[in-house]
């Protein structure tokens, strides 16, 4: 059932730079804004292997700039670390801006520092989370971010949401304009050092963003245009990019595809896939988020099915370059395309749901307690705009079907290996 739409919404409150060598605009941005004291936030592993070096070299060469490097990050950003280490480090240095270089965890750490700002409160303080106008500035000073992603998947650099673990270990999802980075620089040259497994997982995450934002009940003509373009780019580039992230053509296409899907996701929001996969990526399971997205996606497509058939037809054509008519297309074609992609990219290591240690009831219980579900047996919250009403009992079915589809994927992977021998 379609939601009544009284107006269209699309806005980009950012300056965006994309393309090879685009990190070289950093000095210009700093001069324009009058920022001369920088907190460089970087994933410790990426910093250790030199992925951050090009950005640091630019800062070293830029006259009048002082900076320090903060690498005390964890994979799922924690309020405790942000409140007790990252935010004090920013304020003690007297920083003007953060430059966050990395994936979603790096971006979300920076966003936690940004939203707490100089308030003296925790980044997950209820006054930042509930009963707020996400477009109205807070009374306290918040801190700006220049976002530089080094993966092709999260879209965190172009959206106003973050995912942060509170002091009880639960994931909280702040959403406010103050954590939308005013500058995002998507330089595909930084993708060259990605391990193939990371390239695959983050790329499937971007694909999921494109599909879910396109089929969201909050989608509109603006977001749909960007969603479809993202699927065209990702569909053509994802396999060769994951095989060789250093290839300029494919890295540039994936970088653009991620940016477009991130735009759309920031307005149209996520669907059932992300509601299930966030708890799947947490303790005690810790499956990489993009792998979980790929594992769950066939079941979600099947569930939304006929109600989304026309959009799924257009999505399938965008991904494959085909031009199937409504009489030629079946939803199963898109499901099969996703499963075959999962096999080719070794998503979830081509292991089954159960081999990862999951069972239906544990995942369902974690999901029902998760902030992204919000404890309601209805459409979970106003940022989850499902194309088909999905209640707790329906999520149980989706999780069961995920289990079954994971076995289909494993069987296809084994058949592919046998054929190659």
pLDDT along the chain (421 residues), means of 10: 52 83 97 97 91 96 97 90 98 98 94 97 93 91 96 84 86 89 94 89 95 93 94 98 95 93 85 87 80 97 93 98 96 98 97 92 82 54 70 91 97 94 80
Contact 217, 387 (CB under 8 A): yes
The phi and psi torsions of 151 (rounded to 5 degrees) equal -125, 170
Query: Fold match between 16-131+139-191 and 197-420?
Result: no
Nearest Cα to 304, choosing from 294, 292, 313? Answer: 313
| Structure confidence at residue 374 (pLDDT) | 60
| Fold type of domain 16-131+139-191 | Rossmann fold (3.40.50)
pTM above 0.85, yes or no: yes
Domain 197-420, second-level architecture: Up-down Bundle (1.20)
DSSP 180-232: S-SEEEE-GGGGTT--HHHHHHHHHHHHHHHHHHHH-TT--HHHHHHHHHHHH
| Structure confidence at residue 382 (pLDDT) | 43
Contact 18, 158 (CB under 8 A): no
Domain ranges of the chain: 16-131+139-191, 197-420
């Amino acid at each position: 059932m379609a939601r009544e739409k009284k107006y269209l919404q699309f806005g980009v409150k950012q300056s965006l730079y994309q393309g090879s060598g685009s990190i070289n605009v950093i000095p210009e941005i700093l001069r324009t804004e009058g920022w001369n004291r920088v907190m460089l936030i970087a994933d410790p592993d990426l910093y250790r292997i030199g992925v951050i070096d090009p950005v640091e070299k630019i800062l070293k060469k830029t006259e009048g700039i002082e900076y320090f490097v903060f690498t005390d990050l964890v994979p799922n950003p924690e309020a405790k670390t942000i409140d007790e280490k990252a935010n004090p480090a920013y304020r003690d240095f007297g920083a003007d801006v953060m430059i966050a270089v990395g994936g979603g965890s790096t971006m979300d750490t920076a966003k936690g520092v940004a939203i707490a700002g100089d308030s003296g409160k925790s980044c997950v303080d209820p006054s930042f989370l509930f009963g707020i106008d996400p477009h109205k500035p807070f009374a306290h000073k918040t801190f700006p971010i220049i976002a530089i992603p080094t993966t092709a998947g999260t879209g965190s650099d172009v959206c106003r949401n973050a995912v942060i673990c509170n002091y009880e270990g639960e994931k909280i999802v702040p959403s406010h304009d103050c954590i939308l980075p005013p500058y995002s620089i998507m330089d595909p040259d930084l993708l060259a050092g990605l391990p193939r497994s990371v390239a695959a997982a983050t790329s499937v995450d971007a694909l999921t963003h494109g599909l879910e934002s396109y089929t969201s009940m909050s989608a509109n003509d603006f977001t749909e245009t960007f969603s479809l373009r993202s699927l065209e780019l990702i569909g053509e580039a994802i396999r060769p990019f994951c095989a060789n992230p250093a290839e300029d053509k494919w890295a540039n296409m994936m970088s653009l595809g991620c940016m477009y899907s991130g735009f759309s996701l920031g307005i149209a929001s996520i669907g059932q896939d992300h509601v299930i996969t966030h708890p799947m990526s947490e303790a005690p399971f810790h499956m990489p988020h993009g792998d979980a997205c790929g594992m769950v996606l066939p079941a979600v497509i099947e569930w939304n099915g006929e109600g989304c058939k026309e959009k799924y037809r257009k999505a399938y054509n965008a991904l494959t370059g085909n031009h199937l008519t409504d009489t030629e297309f079946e939803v199963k074609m898109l499901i099969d395309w996703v499963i075959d992609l999962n096999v080719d990219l070794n998503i979830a290591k081509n292991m089954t749901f159960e081999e990862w240690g999951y069972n239906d009831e544990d995942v369902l219980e974690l999901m029902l307690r998760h902030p992204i579900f919000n404890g309601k047996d209805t459409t979970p919250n106003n940022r989850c705009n499902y194309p088909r009403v999905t209640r707790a009992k329906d999520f149980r079915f989706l999780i069961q079907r995920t289990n079954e589809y994971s076995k289909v994927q494993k069987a296809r992977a084994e058949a592919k290996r046998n054929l190659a021998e």
